[in-house]
Amino acid sequence: MRVSIAFIFTLPLLAQESRFSYGVTGGVPLSGTGKSYFGYNNESPRFTVGPRFEYRFINHVSLIVNPLYRRVGNSNSFLDSNIPGSNEETLSYNFRTRGHNLSLPILGKYTFRSRQEKLRPFLTTGFSLDTTCLREEATQSSRSTGTSRRFESDRRSIIQPGIVLGGGLEYRLGRYELSPEFRYTFVGTG
């Protein structure tokens, strides 16, 4: 199970009187980013970006397609030391994972005020399809012999569906619009 909460900031770039608008979305995950602790370092940047496309059906109801990209990564290392007095060698292990997370939220949006208002609260709900592609590297080094071995693998997760709930405010600035939003995404694992 993966739960993430994000603060999303959107800047639609097309005149807002048309039924179709597009823009740029950027956000910061507030959870699900992991923590650094002894030997483990979360190296994922804390941002998400992507384009946003919105089609307004009627004055208060629209459909949003918002592909999002996030870079992910971590590293981990530990030492497997020998017992004093034994002839066993000391081994060190270093693990590194880098990857890309792609998310495709498809959302219905309901806006509570008319389009002529400058400040309009809204709610969004829908689903998201998520996948992650990872490159994993591991290195095993022997301090006593000075040798090392390297292992590499590529993994791709299956496409995982999720449920999305959100809400925020649209603020009109002439023909542009700012839309800060909090979004909650629940992706289960099978």
Alpha helices in 38-115 (DSSP H): none
| pLDDT(85) > 60 | no
Tell me if 28 sits within 8 A of 7, measured CB to CB.
yes
What is the mean predicted confidence (pLDDT) over 70-80? Answer: 80
Looking at residue 31, its pLDDT comes to 62
| pLDDT(122) > 70 | yes
Task: Read off the tokens for 158.
Answer: 């299956």
What's the whole-model pTM score?
Answer: 0.75
The CA-based diameter of the chain, rounded to the nearest angstrom, is 81
| pLDDT(7) > 60 | no
pLDDT confidence tier of residue 145, bands split at 50, 70 and 90? confident
Residue 151 or residue 164, greater confidence: 164
Residue 99 or residue 4, greater confidence: 99
What is the mean predicted confidence (pLDDT) over 134-151? Answer: 80
Mean pLDDT of the chain: 80
Cα–Cα distance, 114 to 108 (Å, whole number): 17
In the chain, pLDDT over 70 holds for what percent of residues? 77
Looking at residue 178, its pLDDT comes to 84
Most confidently modeled range among 57-66, 93-102, 141-150: 57-66
Looking at residue 81, its pLDDT comes to 65
Cα–Cα distance, 124 to 135 (Å, whole number): 34
What is the mean predicted confidence (pLDDT) over 54-79? Answer: 87
